[in-house]
């Protein structure tokens, strides 16, 4: 099941929109946990394969390699440092430039940077990421997600 670059770009758009939707559901007092569970099931291969996940803003529990730990990172819960990354809420997440994509049969290696813009603030967070996506039944899902914050230069 060969992957095409346009599929990777659609996945990235879906992933960023999904993170925003979790926060929107929280702000609107909707079932944000259900939205987050759907987001993880759609974008991460926890049901199909092993997943390696290094979230952006972690310093104690660095890796979240199972579904429950990943859910805790996005909406809070299992670990003291988890404040709910997706609950910020983010109003816009932009891909800063064309991502680096390398296609290898049923996997895609992707590197890039994203800018996360929170609601009611002019500040933003810049994050670099490495994703490895694998195709399962015509759906791309993450089997590796590594992301780190980048200090924003004030030059």
Identify the pLDDT of residue 122.
84
Tokens, residue 54: 């290094």
The closest alpha carbon to 83, from 108, 117, 65, 59, belongs to: 59
Question: How many domains, the chain?
Answer: 1
pTM of the model: 0.94
Residue 102 lies in a domain: yes
Which residue's entry shows tokens 């590197």? 111
pLDDT band at residue 154 under the 50/70/90 scheme: low
Q: Which residues form the domain of 71?
A: 5-150
Between strands 107-118 and 100-104, the pairing is antiparallel
Residue 155 lies in a domain: no
CATH number at residue 45: 3.10.450.50
Instruction: Say whether pLDDT at 130 is over 90.
Output: yes
Q: What is the mean pLDDT of the chain?
A: 95
pLDDT in tens, 112-123: 999 999 998 888
């Amino acid at each position: 099941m060969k992957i095409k670059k346009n599929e990777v770009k659609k996945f990235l758009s879906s992933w960023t929109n999904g993170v925003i939707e979790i926060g929107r559901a929280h702000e609107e007092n909707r079932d944000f946990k259900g939205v987050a569970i759907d987001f993880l099931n759609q974008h991460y291969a926890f049901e199909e394969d092993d997943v390696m996940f290094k979230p952006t803003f972690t310093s104690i529990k660095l890796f979240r390699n199972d579904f429950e730990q990943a859910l805790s990172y996005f909406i809070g819960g299992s670990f003291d440092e988890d404040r709910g990354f997706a609950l910020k809420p983010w109003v816009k997440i932009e891909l800063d430039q064309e991502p680096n994509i390398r296609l290898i049969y049923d996997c895609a290696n992707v590197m890039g940077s994203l800018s996360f813009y929170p609601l009611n603030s002019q500040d933003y967070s810049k994050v670099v990421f490495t994703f490895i996506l694998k195709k399962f039944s015509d759906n791309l899902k993450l089997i590796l997600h590594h992301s780190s914050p980048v200090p924003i230069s004030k030059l």
